[in-house]
Structure formats: C-alpha cells, structure tokens
A and B are shown apart, each in its own frame.
Chain A
C-alpha cells in the first residue's frame, strides 16, 4: 500500500486517545500508510520499513536518530527553513502531534543490522575526505566534522546528527543545501558557515568518508 488513504479508525484514535502508546501506534500507521490527509503519504515508502532510508536515492536513515532532532526537522520542513520539495508538503500535512509521534517512533527504531557493515572501503587516512572529517580546515575556521558530530560521525545529542550510517548522496545534498541556503535551520548558522568553505570536490570527499563509516547496530557485530 503506497498511496494515502483515509483511515477512520486511526483518525479517531488520534483524536480521542492522547496516550503515548496510542501516539506510537498512530505513528506506525502513518509510517505504513500515511495519515490520510493530503500529502502525508506513507513514510516507509521512501524511508523503508526499517527506517533505513535508500542510500542510492539519498533518502536518509531515520531509525535510531535523536527524537528532538527528528522533530525539529519535521517542523522546519513545515516552516520552510529546510526546503525540500518532497518533505515540505508531507510535514505540512502532519499535525503537531503527528510530527511528535513520528519523531519518537523513528527514534525508537533499532538501527538496521546492515548498517554495521561499511557501505564502502574507508578512504585513506591522508585522503581529502579523512582530513576534512578528522581535522577540518582551520584556515577557514572549519573544524573536523567529528569534533561536533562525534567519533566516526556517530552523532551527538539533539543538535549534531549522525553522519555515519547516512549515504554519500544524502550527506552531499545536505552540504549543498546549506551552501545554497535552501537549508538554513542550523543552530548558530554552524553548517551554513562550514559548508561555505567547501567546494564540490571537498563535499564529495567528505561525504564518501562518512558514508564508509559503520555503526553499532542491533543484532550485528560491527
């Protein structure tokens, strides 16, 4: 089932049962089949049933990401500070409660086991990508990415999402969006500043480096 459909039972449940468990159930239903209103199609149709995203298409993994981060992104799609033709209408069609439920639901999903294996060989330690990721470019006041996003880019708290376990096309697209200003929902303009110091080659190199990092995933030995 890939199309939005009206689900009376779900709507009723969302209206009359504001308990957390019900919200999570509602989120699961939305993930599978949408909320039945306008553009809010099934999240899983792009982000995958396991929340792992689609690497080649640049659709990000959502499973296991920080709840507050996910919620902020949905809100920012809706308020336009993160421009995206696909996600803006979807986020707009979700109610505040539904956004909250979706964020909590995806955050609670385990990282799919496939992420424990690197998607590609890790670029050499002296490669451009490794240098930018680990040490940055301080003459342009750019720290190593891992200095905020954590070792290997595993993500830190609500503001520094994981880069490991995201695909190179997704990471590169975000850097380009920060650079263009079509994504501008970063605290203190941190990423708008950093991306402005990176050229095409830098973006490709650093995205490739992070895409090759593996993650601790449930049920898998990294």
Chain B
C-alpha cells in the first residue's frame, strides 16, 4: 500500500527519538517537502529544504549554496541559569541512563542515534525537530507539543516511561533543543533535519540474507556478531541493536525507512555515505528482523497490534521472517526495568 511517508510517521506513532525529527508527521512532508520551496529560500541559507536522497553524506553541500543549519557551538552556552539548564539537557541527552535513568528501560543514550550530541545533520538533529512543534498528529488527533514528542522518545526508543511534561528532564531537554535551534526559523523543514528519507527507496526489496552479510562485514565490528553492542568496565560503548536492551517495537528505528536512511547517512560510524543504498536497506532489514521488547501499545495480539500501529510496508512487526512471526516472542520487559 502507498501512503505518504509523513502519514506513516503518524500512524506508527512510535515517536521515539528516532522519529522525533526523523519524520514530520505532517501530511505535506517529507515527500512533498522535496518539491516545495521555502517561502524565501535566500533569506536564511539554512532553511533550504532537503531535496534529494543521500544528502546525509558527510558535510557535502548539495546544490552549491544550500547548507545545513549550524547550531551554535557548545562553547557559546552562556554561564547563566538558562545555560545551566541547557547543559543539563545536553548531559541527559549524551548520558541518558546516568542522568535520567528513572525513565530509561534499556542500554541506550539519546546520542546513540542522534549523533554529535544531537547536532549532526541527517542524524535527526534536535534543532531540526525543535522548530516543527507544536505539530498536529493524526495518530491521536491532537496537537502535540515538543514535550509530548520527547515523552514518546522515552516510551519507545528508550523502552522506558514518559517523564512528566512539567518535570526537570523534559524541561532540560527542551532547553537544550531550543538552544541548539537558536536562530532557526520556526515551522521550517530545515535542510539536514530528520534522516535523509526523501526519495530514498530500496533498489531491490530489502533482504535478510544479504543484510546479514552486510552486517557481518560492516556492523559486527562494533555492534557485535550478536547485535548486543560492546561495553567496557560497565560503560556502554557500542549500542545494542536488538534484544532486551535495545529500543522496543514501537520505536521509529524499528521502521525500515528510518533505519535505512540513518544507516546510509551515518553508518558505519564515521564512515557515513560509504554503503550502497541497497546495503543500507538490507542492513536495516536485518536489524529490524530481530526481536526486541514488545510495543507498549500492544493490543493483545500481534495481528491486531500490527493492524493498528504497524500497517506499513516499512514495518516487519507482525510479519513472518525466516519462519518467525516478529513480535510474537518479544525480548525482555517493555518499560522501565
């Protein structure tokens, strides 16, 4: 079936950090964004809208003049009470379990998928997401605040529980995102926001066996042959990609289009843009064809949960891969450990 990617984002509800900026949730984006021009593209260079796949490629300006938005340098965080809140948000973002562990149910940090502490273009940067809220989302037929979205990140990508909207965790993360977006126009789809999904489609349908080969050659080095990442002295260095310590079935990264675009632009770590499109899709398929904690919106059966939340060609939840019905044997516990 065909639905605009923006609608997928809404139906999947996953939110999750991966989805935070990874999709707009608006019916006019991101597909339509590729053909829409900003109202005044020359006034602020950084508002240029992403126009083509593969733009996650390392800091390469596309179309000559278009550049991604550049957030202020960390050194510019002011030594004020506001600056302290920004720093607190940054600390939560980069060391989530250490600084907001109450709300986290897995081994991930926000910065595992939002590289360079949420600054990196095409890696769902916080500045790209911040300016798009509040946003109407068809999923719950409500206008969602940025806080609502952050809560979703904790619930799905962090496999945890939503921190209170008026609490310190959300306040600090919001302050950090707000500060990173300093000078960006609100309501804009900034170039480099989200993952470079526009027009990024698999040349051939993604495939498990090919994905396994791509994984073994390019990913296992860091994430381990078993996908469980690597730690040293109790500190996680490389994040687990599936299983009980990874994101749950409701997270945005569980969708092939998000995972493939993220991988293409950013993986292998430091070597983004080096995999072929097909390899990126196949690797995404391989990692998303593994079990993980149950979707917290589970309705009682995999089939009904798929119908309600995963009815998309980009979700493997509720489909049979290698003889296994994905979602039928979720790992670990959903929610805070």
The CB with the most chain A CB atoms within 10 A, among B74, B120, B232, B269, is that of: B232
Give the residues in chain A near B120, CB-CB below 8 Å: 138
Q: Is B8 located at the chain interface by the 8 A CB criterion?
A: no
> Which range contains the number of B residues in contact with the other chain?
20 to 34
| Contact in complex: A188, B218 (CB < 8 Å) | yes
| Contact in complex: B271, A135 (CB < 8 Å) | no
| Alpha-carbon distance A150/B232, docked complex (angstroms) | 7
Give the residues in chain A near B270, CB-CB below 8 Å: 141-143, 148, 190, 193-194
| Contact in complex: A141, B58 (CB < 8 Å) | yes
| Alpha-carbon distance A159/B269, docked complex (angstroms) | 14
The stretch of B36-44, B111-119, B142-150, B328-336 in contact with A is B111-119
Distance in Å: Cβ of A222 to nearest Cβ of chain B: 11
Distance in Å: Cβ of A52 to nearest Cβ of chain B: 21
Q: Is A171 located at the chain interface by the 8 A CB criterion?
A: no
Give the residues in chain B near A140, CB-CB below 8 Å: 58-59
Distance in Å: Cβ of B280 to nearest Cβ of chain A: 15
B-contacting residues, A35-82, CB 8 Å: none
Interface string of B234-249 (1 = CB under 8 A from A): 0101100000000000
Q: Is B233 located at the chain interface by the 8 A CB criterion?
A: yes
Give the residues in chain A near B34, CB-CB below 8 Å: none
- The answer, among A126, A151, A155, A159, for a CB contact under 8 Å with B75, is A126
Interface string of A141-167 (1 = CB under 8 A from B): 111000110110011110110000000
Give the residues in chain B near A194, CB-CB below 8 Å: 270
B-contacting residues, A170-220, CB 8 Å: 187-190, 193-194, 216
| Contact in complex: A156, B232 (CB < 8 Å) | yes
- Nearest A residue (CB) for B58: A141
Q: Is B268 located at the chain interface by the 8 A CB criterion?
A: yes
* Majority-rule SS of B interface residues: mixed
| Contact in complex: A135, B222 (CB < 8 Å) | no
| Alpha-carbon distance A43/B180, docked complex (angstroms) | 52
Distance in Å: Cβ of A165 to nearest Cβ of chain B: 14
Give the residues in chain B near A147, CB-CB below 8 Å: 237, 269
- The answer, among A143, A150, A193, for a CB contact under 8 Å with B235, is A150
| Alpha-carbon distance A155/B238, docked complex (angstroms) | 12
| Contact in complex: B235, A151 (CB < 8 Å) | yes
| Contact in complex: A156, B271 (CB < 8 Å) | no
Give the residues in chain B near A139, CB-CB below 8 Å: 59
| Contact in complex: A189, B233 (CB < 8 Å) | no
Distance in Å: Cβ of A215 to nearest Cβ of chain B: 11
Give the residues in chain A near B235, CB-CB below 8 Å: 150-151
| Alpha-carbon distance A157/B271, docked complex (angstroms) | 20
| Contact in complex: A148, B237 (CB < 8 Å) | yes
| Contact in complex: B271, A136 (CB < 8 Å) | no
| Alpha-carbon distance A136/B58, docked complex (angstroms) | 14
Distance in Å: Cβ of A148 to nearest Cβ of chain B: 7
Give the residues in chain B near A216, CB-CB below 8 Å: 233
Please judge, given known A-B contacts A138-B119, A139-B59, whether A193 and B271 are in contact too, CB under 8 Å. Answer: yes
- Nearest A residue (CB) for B117: A135
| Contact in complex: A190, B233 (CB < 8 Å) | no
Give the residues in chain A near B238, CB-CB below 8 Å: 148, 156
- Nearest B residue (CB) for A137: B116
Give the residues in chain B near A136, CB-CB below 8 Å: 116
Give the residues in chain B near A193, CB-CB below 8 Å: 270-271
Give the residues in chain B near A126, CB-CB below 8 Å: 75
Give the residues in chain B near A135, CB-CB below 8 Å: 74, 116-117
Give the residues in chain A near B75, CB-CB below 8 Å: 126
Q: Is B296 located at the chain interface by the 8 A CB criterion?
A: no
Give the residues in chain A near B116, CB-CB below 8 Å: 135-136, 138, 143
Give the residues in chain A near B59, CB-CB below 8 Å: 139-141
| Alpha-carbon distance A148/B237, docked complex (angstroms) | 7
Distance in Å: Cβ of A17 to nearest Cβ of chain B: 33
Give the residues in chain A near B119, CB-CB below 8 Å: 138
The CB with the most chain B CB atoms within 10 A, among A136, A142, A157, is that of: A157
Q: Is B230 located at the chain interface by the 8 A CB criterion?
A: yes
Give the residues in chain A near B233, CB-CB below 8 Å: 150-151, 154, 216
Q: Is B272 located at the chain interface by the 8 A CB criterion?
A: yes
| Contact in complex: A154, B269 (CB < 8 Å) | no
| Alpha-carbon distance A160/B116, docked complex (angstroms) | 20
| Contact in complex: B230, A157 (CB < 8 Å) | yes
| Contact in complex: B272, A150 (CB < 8 Å) | no
| Contact in complex: B117, A151 (CB < 8 Å) | no
- Nearest B residue (CB) for A149: B237
Distance in Å: Cβ of A40 to nearest Cβ of chain B: 31
A-B contact pairs, 11 of them (CB 8 A): A126-B75, A138-B115, A141-B270, A142-B270, A147-B237, A150-B233, A150-B237, A160-B237, A188-B218, A190-B270, A193-B271
With A140-B59, A143-B270, A159-B221 already in contact, 11 other A-B pairs whose C-beta atoms are closer than 8 Å: A126-B75, A140-B58, A141-B270, A141-B272, A147-B269, A155-B232, A156-B230, A157-B230, A187-B221, A190-B271, A193-B271
